C-alpha cells in the first residue's frame, strides 16, 4: 500500500513501489521511481530521472535530481540513482549528472547524508559512505566504500577518496586521498592511518600492521611518490589490502594529498 499525503503532488508517470510514503507538500516528478518501503519527507522534491531504492529514508526539504550546476548542461536526459537503505537528511541536495560524464550521479546503498549535504553532478559514492552536516562534493568526485567525511568539508571536482578513508571536519580536499588514510585541514593533509575505522570494519591486526608500513613508506620515509611506489611494489604488493592502496595511488590523475 502506498501512502501519499493529501497536499503532496505525485505527477502522472511517477512509479511508487509498495509501502512508499510521501509527506506533506512533497513533489514527485513524472520520471521518478521510488523503491519499496521508502519514505519521502515533507516539502521534498524529486526531479528528473530520479531512482531511489528500497527502504530509504529521505528527510524534509530535500531536493534530488535537480539540473546540474554546470554551464555545459543543456537538458540531456541524465539520472540520479540512490541505493537501498540510504538515509538523506533535511535540506540535502543531490544533482543529476551533466553532459559528457557518466550519465548518472550515484549514491549508496546504505549511505548516510546528513543535513545540508551537497552531492554534485556525476559523483559516484560507494556503499556505507557517511557525510556529516554541510559537507559538499563538487562534480565527478568518487568516494570509496565506508568513507567518512566530516562536517563543513569541501571536496574539489574530480577528486577521489579511497575506501575506509577518514576526512576530518572543516577540511578542503584538493587532491586524491588514498584508502585507509586520515586527513584534515585546509588544504587537507594526511595524519595517519584510520586504525579505529579499520578495526570497526573487522580488519585483522596483521592487515592493519601491513597498511601502517605502507603508509610510512609513502608519507614519512622521505621518498617521492614514484620511489615510494617502487618500494611498495618490492616489499608489500602481495598483500591484498596494500595492493589496493598501491593501485589507487598509481591511478591518481590529480596527485595524492601529501
Residues taking part in catalysis: 121-122, 139
211 secondary structure, DSSP code: H
61's CB contacts (< 8 A; 6+ apart) are 41, 42, 43, 44, 90, 91
Cis peptide before 109 (omega within 30 of 0): yes
The residues with which 176 forms a beta bridge, in sequence order, are: 256
Task: List beta partners, residue 3.
Answer: 21
Is residue 46 a contact partner of residue 34, using CB atoms and an 8 Å limit? yes
Distance CA 89, CA 16 (A): 20
Cα–Cα distance for residue pair 178/215, rounded to 1 Å:
10
Amino acid at each position: 500500500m502506498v501512502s501519499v499525503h493529501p497536499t503532496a503532488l505525485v505527477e502522472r508517470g511517477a512509479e511508487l513501489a509498495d509501502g512508499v510514503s510521501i509527506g506533506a507538500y512533497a513533489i514527485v516528478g513524472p520520471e521518478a521511481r521510488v523503491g519499496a518501503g521508502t519514505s519521502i519527507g515533507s516539502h521534498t522534491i524529486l526531479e528528473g530521472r530520479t531512482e531511489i531504492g528500497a527502504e530509504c529514508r529521505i528527510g524534509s526539504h530535500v531536493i534530488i535530481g535537480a539540473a546540474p550546476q554546470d554551464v555545459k548542461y543543456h537538458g540531456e536526459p541524465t539520472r540520479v540513482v540512490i541505493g537501498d537503505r540510504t538515509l538523506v537528511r533535511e535540506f540535502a541536495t543531490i544533482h543529476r549528472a551533466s553532459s559528457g560524464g557518466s550519465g548518472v550521479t550515484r549514491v549508496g546503498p546504505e549511505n548516510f547524508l546528513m543535513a545540508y549535504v551537497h552531492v554534485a553532478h556525476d559523483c559516484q559514492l560507494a556503499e556505507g559512505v557517511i557525510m556529516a552536516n554541510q559537507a559538499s562534493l563538487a562534480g565527478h568526485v568518487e568516494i570509496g566504500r565506508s568513507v567518512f567525511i566530516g562536517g563543513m568539508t569541501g571536496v574539489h571536482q574530480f577528486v577521489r577518496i579511497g575506501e575506509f578513508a577518514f576526512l576530518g571536519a572543516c577540511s578542503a580536499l584538493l587532491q586524491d586521498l588514498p584508502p585507509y588514510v586520515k586527513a584534515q585541514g585546509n588544504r587537507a593533509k594526511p595524519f595517519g592511518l584510520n586504525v579505529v575505522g579499520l578495526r570497526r570494519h573487522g580488519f585483522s591486526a596483521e592487515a592493519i600492521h601491513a597498511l601502517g608500513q605502507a603508509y610510512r613508506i609513502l608519507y614519512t620515509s622521505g621518498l617521492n611518490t614514484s620511489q615510494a611506489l617502487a618500494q611498495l611494489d618490492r616489499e608489500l604488493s602481495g598483500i591484498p589490502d596494500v595492493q589496493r592502496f598501491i593501485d589507487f595511488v598509481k591511478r591518481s590523475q590529480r596527485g595524492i594529498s601529501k
